[in-house]
Amino acid sequence: RGPTADELLEGLNEPQRAAVVHAGTPLLVVAGAGSGKTRVLTRRIAWIIQERKAHPGSILAITFTNKAAGEMKERVEELVGKRARIMWVSTFHSACVRILRKEIDKLGYKSNFSIYDAADQKRLMGLVIKDLDLDAKKFQPGPVLHWVSNHKNELRDPDDVAKDVRNHVEEQYAAAYTSYQRRLREANALDFDDLIMMTVHLLQTFPEVRETYRRRFRHVLVDEYQDTNHAQYALIHQLCADNPELIEGEERVEPAELMVVGDADQSIYAFRGANIRNIMDFEQDFPNATSILLEQNYRSTQTILTAANSVIGHNKGRKPKRLWSDAGDGERIIGYVADDEHDEARFVSDEIDTLVDGGGRAGDVAVFYRTNAQSRVFEEVFIRTGQPYKVVGGVRFYERREVRDALAYLRMLNNPDDQVSLRRILNTPKRGIGDRAVACVQALADRDRLTFWEALRRADQAPGIATRSLTQIQGFVAMVEELQSMVEADERADVILESVLARSGYLAELEASDDPQDATRLENLAELVAVAREFSDDPVAGPSADPADVDAGLVAPGLGDFLERVALVADTDQIPDDDSDQGVVTLMTLHTAKGLEFPIVFLTGLEDGVFPHARSLGDQPELEEERRLAYVGVTRARERLYISRAVVRSAWGAPSHNPGSRFLDELPVDLVDWRRTEAAQTRWNRPDLASGSPARMGSPTTAGRRNFSSAAARADAAAKAKPAREIPSLEPGDRVLHDSFGMGTVVALEGAADKAVASIDFGSEGVKRLLLRYAPVEKL
C-alpha cells in the first residue's frame, strides 16, 4: 500500500533524488531560487515515512509560514495518507508553543500563557517607560523593543545584558528590558521572541526535557534555513547536535537526522536577527555533513533567471551559482518609467486589463513593492477600475480594533493574569470604570501584592474607591466569572466568543450606533465568529494538543488552542488559495513574497531611496541585503516580469524626485524592453529639457519611442478631461477618495452648496473636516 519508491522519486532530477534518499549524516541542500528545495524537503518527509518506516510522530519540519506548513502537510498526506497528520510541520514559533504548553511550568509560567503581539508589546513597553520615568522623547517603545528583540534573538536575558552595559543610556535600556520581562512574567505572557528563547533555555536547563524531545524527533527538517537567527539555530543544535553531555544512567541517544535547505542569496531578515552565517557555517557546525547542490531551476524562464543572476552577481563574498533553466528564453522583461506613483499604478492596472482581455487570469498576477505604504496607490486604482485585489499584510484583520477587543476578552478569560488584555476591555464598551477607579484597584494590588484581576475581585477593599465604580466593577467581575465557567466547561471557542460579544454589551453598542464604520465592525466580528466556528469544527486544528491524543479523538480544540492559532497567524497566511480567487490580483511586500511563485510579477518602485531603501544607501551590508531582496523579487516570476519606477513619488506628503534604482543598472540591457523611458517622460513634462539627460537605465528603445506618443496622448486626454470642479453630492456612509488622504468614509455633512463641509474619516489619517468646494475628493 502507498506509493512505491519510484513513485516517490518521480519528477525529481538526480541531485534532488540524492537529497530525498540521503541517510545517516546531516544534510545541507543549498541552491538558488526555484530549484526545488521545498519540493525536495516535502518528498523527503514522505520518503522517510514510506520507505524508511519512520513513525510520522518522530518528524519535525520547520517552514517559514503557517501557510507553507499547511501546504507541506497536505502534500505529504496526499503522498502517504492520513497517518502523516501527526507529524509536526510548523513554524519555529508554533513548534515552540507546543513544547512550552507542556513544559513551561518548569520555568515558572503557567501553561495557559498569553502570546503578546507587536501592539501588546508596545503597550507594555509604554507602561514600563512611564514606570521607570524615562524621557519619553528619547525612549520610544518601538526602538526599545527592537533592542530587546535583538538581545532575545541572541539568547541574552536581562541579567546577561545588565552585566555588560557600557554607558548610562544602555543602562536605561537594560533597566527597561528587565522591567518589561518582569511584567510579561506577571501577566503570564510571552512575546514572540520569548517563544524561541524560552524553549532554548528550557532545553539547556533541563537535560531530561531535552532528551525527551531528542528521543522523540528522529528527523528534523528546516526550510529557508538562511533566515534563521541565533536562537533558532541554538534550538536546532539542542535537538540535533551530537550531544556529549549525558545524563547519568541514561543511554546515549543518536542525534536526530537533520536536513536544512536554503539559499544564502535569499537571506532577507537580518533586521530581525537572521544570521546568514548559520547556513554558511553549517558544515563546520555539523561535522560530517553532506552537501548537495541543485542547479536546475524549474520555476522561471531563462530571461528571468539571467536577470536575477546578473543582479545578485553584484554582491561580494558570495559563492557564485550557476542556475539554469530549460524552460526557454520566454518573453523579455518589460520596463516602464512613470511620471509619478499614480501613473505607475495606472500602468500596472492597464497591463493587467490587457492580460485579462487576452484570456489571462488576474489571479496569476502579483504586484510587489518595498514597503507596505506603497500598496495604497495600487488599491486606489484597482478600486476605481473594479479590479478585485487582495493585500497580503498591511493592516491585518487581526489588527482591527474590534477584533483585538474581542480577542482581549477571550485572552483574559483564558488567562486572567493577562493584564494588558484585562485593562483593554475593563471599560470597553464604556461601563463607567474610569481611570480613578483603576488607580484605586492598582493601589490595592500593589499594597497586598495581588494580580490586577485578584484586586478587581476584592475591589471593595480598594482604598478610596467610589461606590458607583465599585458597583460597576462588581458587575464586570460577575460577568467575567460567568464567562470563565464556560471556559472551564471546555465550551467551544465560537460559543464563548458569541457569549462574550452579547454579555459584554459590545454588540449592542455597535448595533445601536449609526456610525457607518460600526457596521463594518459588526461584519468583522461576524467573520471572527466564523473563524472560531470553523476552527472548532476541525478536530485536528488544535496545534498545542498532543498529536497522538488528537489522532485518537481524545482532545477537542479549546479556547486556548484557538487563541494560539490566531496569535501565530502571519502575513503570508492570507494569500489567496489558487482556485477560489482566480480573478484576484495579489499585492504584497517583497519580504512577504519569499518562497512563493506567480506566473506574472510586477516589481514596482525601483528607485534609489525606495528600493534600495534610503536607509541602506550608504551601508554596504544593508545594500547587499536589499540586493538579495531584489533577487527574491525577480525569482518569484515564472513567465513574465515587469519592472517599473516613478520619476516623482510623494513620500510623507512631499514629492521627491528619485533617481532610478541602481539595481536597474545591474540588469542586462538587452533583456529589458522599455515601454517608456525617462527621456520620453521628461520630454513630455518638461519641454525645456526635451533634449535632456538620457534615461538612467538603458537607452530609449524603439518601444520606448513608440510609446512616447501614446503616453503623451494619454496625458493630454487627462488634462482635457479635467472639468471645472463640481461639488460632489455626498451622504454619510459614502466612500470617497481624496488626492492626498486616500480613501475615506463620510461621517457627517454640514452646510450646503458652496459652503458644504464634510467630515470624512480617513482611517489612520484621522477624521478631517473639508470644504467640498476645494477639497480634491471624489465619490467612489
Catalytic residue, chosen from 16, 37, 156, 734, is: 37
- Interaction of residue 300 with Mg ion, rule CB under 5 A: no
Kindly state the cell numbers that stand for 139: 525612549
For residue 183, the 8-state DSSP code is H
- Closer CB to Mg ion, residue 425 or residue 632? 632
- Report whether 585 contacts 642 (CB < 8 A): no
The residues with which 745 forms a beta bridge, in sequence order, are: 735, 761
Sign of CA dihedral 30, 13, 49, 38: positive
* Residue 36 labeled ligand binder: yes
What is the rounded CA–CA span in Å between residue 530 and residue 512? 22
- Number of other residues whose CB lies within 10 A of the CB of residue 316: 6
Q: Least CB distance from residue 61 to Mg ion, whole Å? A: 13
Q: Which of 9, 12, 486, 569 binds ligand ATP (CB under 6 A)?
A: 12
In whole angstroms, the minimum distance from the beta carbon of 640 to ligand ATP comes to 16
Nearer to ligand ATP by Cβ, of 16 and 592: the residue is: 16
**Nearest distance in Å: CB 74, ligand ATP:** 14
Q: Among residue numbers 299 through 338, which ones bind ligand ATP (CB under 6 A)? A: 299
Toward Mg ion, which CB reaches closer, 572 or 661? 572
**CA distance linking residue 41 with residue 63, whole number of Å:** 10
- 172 has catalytic annotation: no
Reference 203, options 174, 159, 234; nearest CA is 234
Cβ closer to ligand ATP: 11 or 464?
A: 11
31 appears as a binding residue in the annotation? yes
Alpha-carbon span 740 to 650, nearest angstrom:
9
Binding partner of residue 35 among ligand ATP, Mg ion, none, CB cut-off 5 to 8 Å per kind: ligand ATP
- The site string for ligand ATP over 732-761 (x = CB under 6 A, - otherwise) reads ------------------------------
**Closest distance of CB 316 from Mg ion, Å:** 25
Asked if 172 is part of the footprint of ligand ATP (rule: CB under 6 A), the reply reads no
- 32 known ligand binder: yes
228, three cell numbers: 534563521
- The residue range among 285-293, 330-338, 468-476, 591-599 that interacts with Mg ion, by the rule CB under 5 A, is 591-599
Q: Judged by CB under 6 A, does residue 39 bind ligand ATP?
A: yes
**Any bridge partners for residue 260, and if so which?**
28, 222
Of the candidates 31, 198, 25, 38, the residue with the CA atom closest to the CA atom of residue 115:
198
Among 56, 57, 543, 595, which residue sits at the site for Mg ion (rule: CB under 5 A)? Answer: 595
The verdict on whether residue 35 carries a ligand-binding annotation is yes
Rg over alpha carbons for the chain, rounded to the nearest Å, is 28
Please confirm, yes or no, whether 636 is among the known catalytic residues.
Answer: yes
Q: Which amino acid is at 726?
A: E
With CB cut-offs between 5 and 8 Å by kind, which of ligand ATP, Mg ion, none does residue 589 bind?
Answer: none
Judge contact between 623 and 631, C-beta under 8 A: no
- Cα–Cα distance between 729 and 772 in angstroms, integer? 9
- Say how far apart CA 494 and CA 500 lie, in whole Å: 10
**Closest distance to ligand ATP from the beta carbon of 298 (Å):** 3
Residue 81 marked ligand-binding: no
- The phi, psi pair for 340, rounded to 5°, reads -150, -175
Instruction: Compute the distance between CA of residue 183 and CA of residue 123 in angstroms, rounded to an integer.
Output: 11
- β-strands 219-222, 257-262 pairing: parallel
Stretch that binds Mg ion, among 30-38, 63-71, 279-287, 672-680 (CB under 5 A): 30-38
Contact 59, 45 (CB under 8 A): yes
181 lies in the binding site for ligand ATP (CB under 6 A): no
Helix (H, G, I), strand (E, B) or coil at 346: helix
CA 129 to chain centre: 27
Q: Which of 35, 38, 63, 296 binds Mg ion (CB under 5 A)?
A: 38
- Among 19, 20, 30, 35, interactor with ligand ATP by CB under 6 A: 35
In the complex with ligand ATP, which residue's Cβ is closer, 35 or 275? 35
Q: Decide: is 38 part of the binding site for ligand ATP (CB under 6 A).
A: yes
Contacts to ligand ATP from residues 245-264, by CB under 6 A: 263
The answer to whether residue 612 forms part of the interface with Mg ion (CB under 5 A) is no
Contact segment (CB under 6 A) with ligand ATP among 8-16, 55-63, 495-503, 511-519 equals 8-16
Identify the active-site residue in 411, 636, 675, 676: 636
Q: Does 227 bind ligand ATP (CB under 6 A)?
A: no
Which one among 36, 56, 57, 744 touches ligand ATP, defined by CB under 6 A? Answer: 36
Q: How far apart are CA 264 and CA 319, in angstroms?
A: 9
Residue 297 has, within 13 A of its CA and on its CB side, a CA count of: 29
Q: Using an 8 Å Cβ cutoff, are 336 and 354 in contact?
A: no
Q: Which is nearer to ligand ATP, 149 or 226 (CB)?
A: 226
User: Which ranges of 513-590 does DSSP label H, i.e. alpha helix?
Assistant: 516-537, 547-551, 559-567
Q: Rounded to the nearest whole angstrom, what is the least distance from the CB of residue 262 to ligand ATP in the complex?
A: 8
Where do we find the cell 504548553? 101
Decide: helix, strand or coil at residue 178: helix
Q: Which is nearer to Mg ion, 635 or 658 (CB)?
A: 635
**C-alpha to C-alpha distance for 36 and 293, rounded to whole angstroms:** 11
Question: Would you say 283 and 289 are in contact if contact means Cβ atoms under 8 Å apart?
Answer: yes
- Cell 493585500 belongs to 391
For Mg ion, give the closer residue by CB, 37 or 152. 37
Handedness of CA 556, 561, 562, 565 (dihedral sign): negative
Residue 37, annotated as binding a ligand: yes
Binding mask 538-577 for Mg ion (x = CB under 5 A): ----------------------------------------
Which of 441, 512, 450, 522 has the alpha carbon at shortest distance from 476?
Answer: 441
Give yes or no for residue 591 binding ligand ATP (CB under 6 A).
no
Give the nearest distance from C-beta 64 to ligand ATP in angstroms.
9
Count of other CB atoms within 10 angstroms of residue 622: 16
> Is 266 labeled as catalytic in the residue annotation?
yes
Taking the least distance from each CB to ligand ATP, the nearer of 214 and 636 is 636
- 11 contributes a contact to ligand ATP by CB under 6 A: yes
Cell output for 543: 496545534
Q: Where does this chain touch ligand ATP (CB under 6 A) — which range of 28-36, 46-54, 404-412, 522-530? A: 28-36
Q: Is 10 a catalytic residue?
A: no
List 13, 204, 212, 484, residue binding ligand ATP (CB under 6 A): 13
Give the residue among 111, 285, 89 at the shortest CA–CA distance from 198. Answer: 111
The runs of H, that is alpha helices, within 250-374 are: 277-280, 282-285, 302-312, 341-357
Q: Which entry of ligand ATP, Mg ion, none binds 230, CB below 5 to 8 A by partner kind?
A: none
Tell me whether residue 430 is annotated as binding: no
**Closest residue by Cα to residue 604 from 375, 354, 379, 395:** 375
Q: Mark residues 266-285: x for contact with ligand ATP by CB under 6 A, - for none.
A: x-------------------
Q: Which of 120, 193, 224, 351 is catalytic?
A: 224
Active-site entry in 63, 65, 238, 266: 266
DSSP state of 766: -
* Residues making up the binding site for ATP: 31-38
Interface residues with Mg ion (CB under 5 A) are 37-38, 595
Interface residues with ligand ATP (CB under 6 A) are 11-13, 16, 31, 33-39, 263, 266, 298-299, 595, 597
Residues with active-site annotation? 37-38, 223-224, 266, 636
* Residues making up the binding site: 31-38
